[in-house]
Amino acid sequence: MEARIESESPDTGQEIGRLEGDEPVARDTVTPRPVSNTPRHAQGHESGIKHVTGRARYIDDLPAPHGTLHAMVGLSQIAHGRVTRLDLDAVRAMPGVVDVIAAQHIPGHRDIGPVFPGDPLFADEEVSYVGQPLFAVAATSYAEARRAVKAAVVEIEPLPPRFDPVAAAEAGEFVRPTHVQVSGDWQQALEGTPHVLEAAQFVGGQEHFYLEGQACLVVPSEDEGVIVYTSNQHPSETQKLVAEVLDIPFHAVTVENRRMGGGFGGKETQAAPWACMAALLARRTGRAIRLRLPRADDTRATGKRHPFHSHYRLGFDDDGVILGGDITLIGDCGHSPDLSEAVVDRAMFHADNAYSLGAARVTGHRARTHTASNTAFRGFGGPQGMMIVERAMDDIARHIGEDPLTVRKRNLYRAGRDTTHYGQHVDQHPLMVEIIERLERSSDYWQRRDAIREFNHRSPIIKRGLALTPVKFGISFTAKHLNQAGALLHVYTDGSVMINHGGTEMGQGLHTKVCQVVARELGIDLASVRISATRTDKVPNTSPTAASSGADLNGMAARDAASQIRQRLLDFAAEHYQFDREGLGLENGKLITDNGASMPAVSWGELIQAAYLGRVSLSATGFYSTPLIHYDRDSGQGRPFYYFAYGASVSEVRLDTLSGEYRVERVDILHDVGDSLNPAIDLGQVEGGFIQGMGWLTSEELKWNDDGRLITDGPATYKIPTFGDLPPIFNVELLEGHPNSQASIYRSKAVGEPPFMLGISVWSALRDALASLAAYRISPALDTPATPERMLMAAEALRAASRDLQETT
């Protein structure tokens, strides 16, 4: 893949200056160059040069107004209890302190729960987790604010905390009601089958570990409001919450985000509290407020990926084909609903992954525990749901003595078995078969399978494992109303174009893709299109940038805006230049006819100037809402997803059964993104998603002490993958030649979340390596993350079980 910046201009300096915007735009009109703007173009990230030169600004890099104060938040040290004393006088007396606030200082809403109530901005009478905000302080420096927080006198009468979600579910302690999906007579299916297996699986949570922590800068405006600069995936919701907390109209609050240093779902709802606190302090002091959480506070105060305790009981025939059964998913939601309703729903929607469950019941519980409120994280419950059925696939295969891949293939959705347990027809299911068959060949699955069995037979200590796992991931917000987006496009008189849309840039390349869409619609080059920070006063009432939907929704909205401009320009040109309207187009920075010939040299810039003088509006808003989707919670049936994205991965591991240490030696991936909007960016999403998913299942372990205090509260103890965890052989390809069957933006497919679940093949390969210790006759239990400790303990258990097996047979 070429990088346009490198190849196009030998004088990179010119190019950089242009992109950076540190030179004024020329008074001459922009002259678009004839470059490839096809949607498949591997354009580099729009901020790439700013990233590598340190010029990309994040929240804490923004220059702050004179007199800006620094805020810090006081957190509960107790998991559950009644606040009997919150004495902040000593805090007020600390050096540099200007203001201190707690719940009673909030003029408006005290509860900022995003969908359902339950998230007090500051805990008032009762605390529900270690790390819950109790108060906030503003001081003249960051260090003073941090020290001042420690001076608070907090007395909390402890109440019994609950940390076990299974016990919570048994006791009916839920943050939201249980939801059930049923298809067919699942009890009959279990009774009438020759084989029934059941097992329980724990899947651990995950800290987002965005490199830029939660941060905001709030500047009081001259009216009653504020301007909020925040590292945030959901500016509109933050606008709403800030306004409600301050008890002012929404139009008094403007929220802006240019980019995030990573989000991954951790800044969808959980970036808002800090903005609300800073806004309160800003209005009270009349001064700008910076609030940036130290890493340990950030890790304790904010929610994680939901840990899940899941259970399956499935009946299947002699070939291992599932006929039906019962799956129960218990999501550990933490202390409040947050987004848990939808997260557990999505886990339920993905408990089938790529397989027909037959006649099945899927039950999802939302357990309440005294930890931070678990939240969105790439995949949004989908990965946890898939884990239970992928576990079942391996277990069934061991039970009937077949290779797990064989059993997986037999269970894939296919003609006659192509409707999910929630009633959605699985469109494009043959793609899954094609991806797996191609990957089997390209990865030499069967030859390696034989070689690995042979190796394991000879090698008593080192064991190798291999697994291929598929991904089928539903695209759309399951909350229907969120499936809408807006855009605002301006063309200025020099021909330069400014596009703004409701999505936020967290590294996923959304802004790059949207610029490509606009450039393509207007037939101009990318350098002529600039994207500005996401702002609630430009595009209002937006949805979070989440659910992989950023490009699908905002790309379509931007396309709508750009095509309106195109229509206006062509209508104008036909009249102004006396051309035949039919067949007029914009391409390569010129007005063209349908035979591709450019008309008597009307360039983009001339056309725009003429249109301006001809009093044509050069600004447009675009809008998009996803068609076709619906879901009925009462019946548990519907079509929640516009389409599915597919992929599969093959992982090979090498395990030392004496220590539990292992390495992932080779990974092969084939992933479906429809007609890619930008293969370079999509490849980056696939690779990055895979490694993040692998980290979730291998080294990223969250641990709490008996008092409910998170003890893995930073990178010293919480281990995300690092450079050496990159598999030495890592073959990643995008599936070509299969456009989306639905009318998505240029027939592309969403790519943010689906590849995350490709990491499941690593876990399955680790189980495969373990299974070799018992001649593949026992399917090993392996909770996640599969740390070296879990691997060693599982290996020891397998060896013992294998001895028992030999003795009894």
- Report the alpha-carbon distance of residue 788 to residue 783 in Å, rounded: 12
- Report the alpha-carbon distance of residue 207 to residue 142 in Å, rounded: 25
Q: Which is nearer to other proteins, 388 or 664 (CB)?
A: 664
Smallest distance, Å, CB 776 to other proteins?
20
Smallest distance, Å, CB 762 to other proteins?
13
Smallest distance, Å, CB 61 to other proteins?
4
Residue 125 neighbours by CB under 8 Å, 6+ apart: 82, 83
- Report the alpha-carbon distance of residue 625 to residue 612 in Å, rounded: 31
- DSSP bridge pairs for 156: 83
Q: How many CB atoms lie within 10 A of CB 434?
A: 16
- Report the alpha-carbon distance of residue 293 to residue 131 in Å, rounded: 12
Q: Which is nearer to other proteins, 547 or 786 (CB)?
A: 786
| Active site (annotated) includes residue 753 | yes
Q: Which is nearer to other proteins, 593 or 699 (CB)?
A: 699
Smallest distance, Å, CB 458 to other proteins?
7
Q: Which is nearer to other proteins, 618 or 720 (CB)?
A: 720
First-to-last alpha carbon distance for the chain, in angstroms, is 57
Helices (H), 112-185: 142-149, 165-170
Q: What share of the chain is helix, strand, coil (3-state, %, to 5)?
A: 35, 25, 40
Selecting among 222, 505, 753, 796, the annotated active-site residue is 753
DSSP 8-state code for residue 425:
B
Residue 567, class by beta-carbon neighbours within 10 Å (0-12 exposed, 13-18 middle, 19+ buried)? Answer: exposed
- Report the alpha-carbon distance of residue 742 to residue 130 in Å, rounded: 46
Q: Which is nearer to other proteins, 208 or 559 (CB)?
A: 208
Q: Which is nearer to other proteins, 65 or 728 (CB)?
A: 728
Q: Which is nearer to other proteins, 213 or 622 (CB)?
A: 213
Q: Which is nearer to other proteins, 148 or 342 (CB)?
A: 148
- Report the alpha-carbon distance of residue 274 to residue 293 in Å, rounded: 9
Residue 595 neighbours by CB under 8 Å, 6+ apart: 583
Q: Which is nearer to other proteins, 13 or 737 (CB)?
A: 13
Q: Give the three-state DSSP class for 3.
A: coil
Smallest distance, Å, CB 695 to other proteins?
9
- DSSP bridge pairs for 329: 310, 364
Smallest distance, Å, CB 463 to other proteins?
10
Q: How many CB atoms lie within 10 A of CB 252?
A: 15
Smallest distance, Å, CB 258 to other proteins?
11
Q: Which is nearer to other proteins, 597 or 716 (CB)?
A: 716
- DSSP bridge pairs for 309: 202, 330
- Report the alpha-carbon distance of residue 366 to residue 173 in Å, rounded: 8
Smallest distance, Å, CB 413 to other proteins?
29
- Report the alpha-carbon distance of residue 752 to residue 553 in Å, rounded: 13
Q: How many CB atoms lie within 10 A of CB 281?
A: 26
- Report the alpha-carbon distance of residue 622 to residue 485 in Å, rounded: 8
Task: Give me the count of residues in the chain.
Answer: 809
Smallest distance, Å, CB 383 to other proteins?
16
Q: What is the layout of strands, in order, in the sheet containing 126-127?
A: 126-127, 81-87, 153-158
Smallest distance, Å, CB 210 to other proteins?
6
Q: Which is nearer to other proteins, 213 or 225 (CB)?
A: 213
DSSP 8-state code for residue 801:
H
Nearest to 490 by CA among 314, 338, 617, 309: 617
Nearest to 693 by CA among 345, 351, 206, 339: 206
Smallest distance, Å, CB 554 to other proteins?
18
Helices (H), 428-469: 429-442, 445-458
DSSP secondary structure string for all residues of 535-592: ETTTS-SPPPS-TT-HIIIIIHHHHHHHHHHHHHHHHHHHHHTT--STT-EEETTEEE
Q: Is the peptide bond before 785 cis (omega within 30 degrees of 0)?
A: yes
- What angle do the packed helices 272-285 and 235-246 form, to 10 degrees? 40
DSSP secondary structure string for all residues of 300-316: HHS--BPPEEEEEEEEE
Q: Which is nearer to other proteins, 16 or 599 (CB)?
A: 16
Smallest distance, Å, CB 394 to other proteins?
23
Nearest to 154 by CA among 73, 209, 232, 237: 73
- Report the alpha-carbon distance of residue 302 to residue 515 in Å, rounded: 33
Q: Which is nearer to other proteins, 83 or 795 (CB)?
A: 795
Smallest distance, Å, CB 56 to other proteins?
5
Residues designated catalytic: 753
